[in-house]
Structure 1
């Protein structure tokens, strides 16, 4: 600065301009370097945030899939539990139905008693129908080991081979689930 005082004014102005340009160039270089550094830092932070977001999204999708599977599994188990309980209940009632049918086939002299028994039997059958219980059609049907229990084979019947020719105990289905297979004789 002391040199600056001894120089002519023109040179002094020129020197001030040169120093200002140098300072501006240094500042521009520093600003560009700072901007590039700041950009790189921001890009790295952005990439980290994208990775974290992708990871969280993956966790969310996996959790959602697990929950959906859990919901479907429990709904299926609930339906199966209800159906199994219904099957067990109907299974316990079938011997009562068999006894009713045998009692209706027996001779009875009191018509009022027989009519009353028929009414109760019909109510019982209606109840089973409402519960979606159906009798397996066995007599004259082709033998199916999935719904028939063959306990005997018979020769010389009017039925074709491998067809049910006699029913010893009726079989029942609850919806599409077998409650009790029909005990049958099969023609040979």
Structure 2
């Protein structure tokens, strides 16, 4: 509205039109003052510098996080492998031994116990199998044995042991189950 009043005043001769470089620009479209331009350029330079610093900081944080993740992975693997090194040492000693079959067998049983202890230390426990009722969530049936002595679907034989880590199944137990034709499964 003020612009219209100024334009009317110039047309009526009350005011003189401001002199500009192109002769047609009004005062509103004039270039900013040199000090204002320098201020905007300085602000832009500060923002570009800040952006570059933030990008570098982000890249460094990403690299640091990747290295920390690798360090945690290495630490976890070393803590997991350490209990099994003794087991390997004992297997090597058993292979070098010149004892009787009974001595070798008792040595292997001790190594197996050591291995089970190492797994238990990692919260890995065997899945209950023989004598339990077949559960398809933790057992995998490889066959059935027809019998009248045991209830239908009772696990009679463990072919391969299954394991859990806490509540998570690592692998199911491979089993043979009872098939009792005198019991009707519904």
Same fold (TM over 0.5): no
Q: Which has the larger radius of gyration?
A: 1
Instruction: Give TM-score, length-normalised by structure 1.
Output: 0.41
Normalising by structure 2, report the TM-score: 0.41
Of Structure 1 and Structure 2, the greater helix share is in 1
